[in-house]
Chains A and B, each alone.
Chain A
Amino acid sequence: MKQTGNVEQHDSSAMCPEAVRQGPINHRNKWRGLARPLILLAATSLAGAAVADEYHYRDILIGTRASAMGGAYTAISDDPSGLYHNPAGIVHASELNLSGSVNAWHRTRVTYEDVLGDGRDWNRESGTLIPNFFGITQPVGPGVLGFSYVVTDSIQEDQDQTFLDVENRERFTINLNDNQSVYKLGPSYAWQVNDQLSVGVSLYFHFREQEEINNQLIVLDAGSGPGAGDSDIEWRYVQTQNDEWGIKPVIGIMWEPDDRLALGASIRQANVASAENYLFFTCHGSSISDSALCPEGDIDYVELSDDIRRDHPVEIRLGAAWFHSPRFLLSADISYHTAHTDVVRGVDGRDVEGTWNIALGSEYYLNNQWAVRSGVFTNRANTSSDVVAHDHVNLYGISASLARFTRNSSLDLGFSYSRGRGEGQVLPAGNEPQTMVAENITIFLSSSYTF
């Protein structure tokens, strides 16, 4: 991992924390030495992980059929969404095929239980309308050419909340604005080696953008320290921005040893070519209370930027599909994301665990015009349950859709829902881990056309 770092800092007091008092630092290790206390500071009030979602890999399912079948699509992949799941499968999309998918509504909700005292929870919610897939396939030469655009993750949080009488706080206000999206677009080509075997490759341009503004204001009750009898405030403002781009090749293979059985596999990894990370931190400490934000009554701010490129895991997918009849099929997927070291907001590292996920899907035609699809899937956390600094919630989901077919087109209405309970560390270190519940729901309306 290559990086250059630059720290611009401004002291207003000799009482500032040690990390903030350091002069300009260009060496990575020293920079990290500065960054860690800042991140802890950022977590002093309520911070938590970004919802989207460095802790999970399957928040948004991609493609019309695949979404409804829990994402169990590696061994099917015979329509444009196969460009993403397993490009080898698109050799079976023998006609010009156009597919678009609109996630009419994608919502995430994370509830940190009882973190505000008196049984009060803190909720982080995101709702976004995203066109998350577009793909087209066309037979060209001996194979099939395709192009697809995919949004694999998207979060739009805009939260304004005020809590009164939270422990020794008269008023606690949080304003959170978090926008994150991961885009992929690029061409694919697949060719059939023989009637049993096909191979394919997609070469995606990978782009990720994230910007978060987290503003928290605490009005403290009058305490017993200096200035007793008067209230005071603590204030913290954090702005982060991370952009990265690179390439993400997907290599796929499909083997069909029997006319009803298909086995598929794909492997992929995003390789970041360029990254820009930015952190701006401002705090104000109270004069009447011990503050972990800033010393008494002081205001400090720090600005950090770097071009540290994140490592992404290698993802391996294996799938099987049983085409029982033209009316009924079953599919199953297992996927594995390798362990690696991540960089959070450009300044901090964490060890990401290797993560397994499974999905099962089915499709049943009521008649030649209507079909129902369903699936179950896991979306397990890539965090360790032993490290409480990062949310650890394993999600388990279901999906379903109703499809209507006409001569050359289809229309799907469906949903996917996943939920899990785990532990996180949204309160300052030293507190017991907090119980948290995470939910994702996507309601999608999509269509495809064959010419």
Chain B
Amino acid sequence: MGRLRGAGFILLCLSLLAPQWLAAEHPARARLHQIQPVQAAEANERAEIRVGREVAARILARHELHPDAELQRYVNLVGRGLSMHGERPALDFYFAVLDSEQINAYAAPGGYVFVTAGALALMEDEAELVGVLAHEIAHVDARHIVNALGIRAPESSPMAGLTRFFGGAGEAAQVFFSQTVEQVVEVLFEEGLQRDDEFQADAMAVRLAARAGYDPQGLSRFLERMSEKDNGRALDEVSSTHPAASERLSRLSRQLDEEGLSEADRQRRAARFQRHVP
């Protein structure tokens, strides 16, 4: 026991004499299973962004960008400010106006959001624009397409064939990548997402708009006006890819009441909207 006491005293002295200035972190102790979940999440996000970028390119191949640069800047400012209140504030969102008469908006994975000139023409204030953009941001935040199509980084995939998905080395991987992009485009323009995903995006959009200080009823007003509009061709796309506006409105109305947002007196910014949107 005496020997142990002596050793303990020596260790204590050593600890007190330790050179405090030699401070250093020891990240090397972290083992792969401890650090790779974070790395995997980052890799998955990179994969999502890469798919989204390619989908955005396909969208722009279908519809040209609206030529009004000031309009593009305005929508980007509104959208980016809004995305900062979302669930993925670290993700870089990009917003663009498509020169299309269709009344629709699209969100590609990774934060690429598009709204058509036809939709903007139907809006009366910035709160309605925010409602539409918030709906698309919600799709990205909730990773609806990512989850539906299982988009992930190759090392996270259970399929061996995906291991070189983004490595660019394998032809099969490139084919799979192209197929994934095609599937996303089909979802956006033809098949639509699950109905529940759309309803969830509506609900998230209302809350996001409210958090950002906008009138949370902007999306409802836009949907009402859209449903009243007698223009079958302009609504073809949104009708085929989204639940009926009446059902969406019914759910939104219930949500606004339940969450005490019906009487919310928040900004609509109609004048600013009308200054930027011809």
Same complex: yes
Out of A251, A252, A259, A327, name the residue touching B25 (CB < 8 Å).
Answer: A259
Out of A196, A363, A405, name the residue touching B18 (CB < 8 Å).
Answer: A196
Query: Residue on B with the closest CB to A409?
Result: B33
Query: Residue on A with the closest CB to B1?
Result: A271
Contact string against A for B residues 22-36, beta-carbon threshold 8 Å, 1 for contact and 0 otherwise: 111111111111111
Query: Residue on A with the closest CB to B34?
Result: A326
B59 on interface, CB distance cutoff 8 Å: no
Q: Do the beta carbons of B22 and A253 come within 8 Å of each other?
A: no
Distance to closest chain A CB from B5 (angstroms): 9
Q: How far is the CA of A258 from the CA of B34 in the complex (A)?
A: 21
Q: Do the beta carbons of B155 and A196 come within 8 Å of each other?
A: no
Give the dominant DSSP class at B's interface: helix
Q: How far is the CA of A196 from the CA of B36 in the complex (A)?
A: 25
Q: Do the beta carbons of A196 and B33 come within 8 Å of each other?
A: no
Distance to closest chain B CB from A287 (angstroms): 54
Given contacts A269-B1, A269-B3, A369 and B33 within 8 Å (CB-CB) = yes
A225 on interface, CB distance cutoff 8 Å: no
Contact string against A for B residues 5-31, beta-carbon threshold 8 Å, 1 for contact and 0 otherwise: 001100110111011101111111111
Out of A199, A262, A363, A407, name the residue touching B15 (CB < 8 Å).
Answer: A199
Out of B8, B19, B32, B40, name the residue touching A251 (CB < 8 Å).
Answer: B8
Q: How far is the CA of A405 from the CA of B30 in the complex (A)?
A: 14
Contact string against B for A residues 305-327, beta-carbon threshold 8 Å, 1 for contact and 0 otherwise: 00000000010000000010111
Q: Do the beta carbons of B25 and A368 come within 8 Å of each other?
A: no
B4 on interface, CB distance cutoff 8 Å: yes
Query: Residue on A with the closest CB to B155?
Result: A367
B37 on interface, CB distance cutoff 8 Å: yes
Q: Do the beta carbons of A365 and B4 come within 8 Å of each other?
A: no
Contact string against B for A residues 235-268, beta-carbon threshold 8 Å, 1 for contact and 0 otherwise: 0000000000000010111001111101000011
Enumerate chain A residues within 8 angstroms of B22, measured Cβ to Cβ. 194-196, 257
A371 on interface, CB distance cutoff 8 Å: yes
For chain B, the count of residues having a C-beta within 8 Å of the partner chain is: 32
Query: Residue on A with the closest CB to B28?
Result: A323
Q: How far is the CA of A257 from the CA of B32 in the complex (A)?
A: 22
Distance to closest chain B CB from A17 (angstroms): 40
Q: How far is the CA of A196 from the CA of B3 in the complex (A)?
A: 26
Q: Do the beta carbons of A405 and B15 come within 8 Å of each other?
A: no
Q: Do the beta carbons of B37 and A326 come within 8 Å of each other?
A: no
In B35-78, the 8 Å CB interface with A consists of 35-37, 39-40
Q: Do the beta carbons of B29 and A365 come within 8 Å of each other?
A: no
Query: Residue on B with the closest CB to A268?
Result: B4
Query: Residue on A with the closest CB to B37?
Result: A407
A429 on interface, CB distance cutoff 8 Å: no
Given contacts A253-B14, A257-B22, A323-B28, A371 and B33 within 8 Å (CB-CB) = yes
Q: Do the beta carbons of B11 and A365 come within 8 Å of each other?
A: no
Contact string against A for B residues 78-97, beta-carbon threshold 8 Å, 1 for contact and 0 otherwise: 00000000000000000000
Q: How far is the CA of A199 from the CA of B31 in the complex (A)?
A: 22
Q: Do the beta carbons of A314 and B4 come within 8 Å of each other?
A: yes
Given contacts A194-B20, A251-B8, A367 and B32 within 8 Å (CB-CB) = yes
Query: Residue on B with the closest CB to A325?
Result: B28
Given contacts A323-B29, A369-B33, A197 and B4 within 8 Å (CB-CB) = no
Out of B23, B32, B37, B39, name the residue touching A327 (CB < 8 Å).
Answer: B32
Q: How far is the CA of A405 from the CA of B28 in the complex (A)?
A: 19
Enumerate chain B residues within 8 angstroms of A262, measured Cβ to Cβ. 26, 29
Q: Do the beta carbons of A267 and B4 come within 8 Å of each other?
A: yes
Q: Do the beta carbons of B26 and A256 come within 8 Å of each other?
A: yes
Out of A92, A256, A268, A326, name the residue touching B32 (CB < 8 Å).
Answer: A326
Given contacts A193-B15, A271-B1, A371 and B32 within 8 Å (CB-CB) = yes
Query: Residue on B with the closest CB to A323?
Result: B28
Residues of A within 8 A of B (CB): 78, 92, 193-197, 199, 201, 249, 251-253, 256-260, 262, 267-269, 271, 314, 323, 325-327, 363, 365, 367-369, 371, 405, 407, 410
Q: 26 A-B contacts, Cβ less than 8 Å apart?
A: A78-B29, A193-B18, A194-B18, A194-B20, A194-B22, A194-B23, A195-B24, A195-B26, A196-B24, A197-B18, A199-B11, A199-B15, A201-B8, A252-B11, A256-B26, A258-B24, A259-B26, A259-B28, A269-B3, A314-B4, A326-B30, A326-B32, A327-B32, A367-B36, A371-B31, A371-B32
The 6 closest A-B pairs by CB, nearest first: A368-B36, A405-B33, A323-B28, A365-B32, A195-B23, A197-B18
Q: A314-B4, A326-B31 are in contact. List 11 more A-B contacts (CB 8 A).
A: A193-B16, A195-B23, A195-B25, A201-B8, A253-B11, A253-B14, A269-B1, A323-B28, A326-B30, A371-B32, A371-B33
